[in-house]
Amino acid sequence: MRNPWRRRRRAEPPARAVDHSGTDLVIRWIDAVTTGLADAPPGPPEAAPARVCDGMFTAATIAAVLIERVSDRTEYRVANNRCLAASVEFMKVLGEDTLRRYRIQSDAQPVGLDEVNADADELAIARHLALLGEALQIALCKVTTDPALSAEIRETANESGLLAADVLVETCQTIQSDPTT
């Protein structure tokens, strides 16, 4: 006969390893921004380029963190420069109030230098950063063809934005295809 007071404990799943490198934080932030671009709530026409600017600045920041903490590659420097220049161009055209009003809202916190160390998984971050670049390309195509936006905003998206998003995607694909350089 079985003793009812003796209950078997269920086997607990093994605890997930704690990521001390900061990779999970960076990926969560990238994915939150990518989702914010892809699933943007409806709003006025200026909301889309403001979110693109936020995505560009995020990409530039993550590239800078990768340069400082993980791998100082020329590709990251080029992507950082292009994305930062594009976000500055959008800032000039849109203005501070518009950018602040239509930022991408998420639970993920921006990641700084203190949260990432040299052990971060560069390939995983590059894979998610490439997805952000692709989401930026799609959002920028929408901005360049939106007749409700001013010609200046469409021109900025076409000249600065698409170039920066292309460079970001190419950079990440290069790093994924040849991680040793």
Distance CA 42, CA 44 (A): 7
Q: Give the domain ranges of the chain.
A: 23-177
Q: How far does Cα 154 stand from its chain's mean position?
A: 22
The 10s digit of each residue's pLDDT in 66-104 is 898 888 899 999 999 999 999 999 999 999 898 888 888
Q: How far does Cα 11 stand from its chain's mean position?
A: 38
pLDDT at residue 61, as a whole number: 92
The 10s digit of each residue's pLDDT in 130-160 is 999 999 999 999 999 999 999 999 999 999 9
Distance CA 160, CA 70 (A): 27
Task: Compute how many other C-beta atoms are within 10 angstroms of the C-beta atom of residue 153.
Answer: 24
Tell me the whole-structure pTM to 2 decimals: 0.84
In the CATH scheme, what is the code of domain 23-177?
A: 1.20.1260
Instruction: Give me the DSSP letters along the chain.
Output: ---TT-PPPPPPPPPPPP--SSHHHHHHHHHHHHHHHHTPPP--TTHHHHHHHHHHHHHHHHHHHIIIII---HHHHHHHHHHHHHHHHHHHHH-HHHHHHTPPP-SSPP--GGG--TTS-HHHHHHHHHHHHHHHHHHHHHHHT-TTS-HHHHHHIIIIIHHHHHHHHHHHHHHHH-TT-
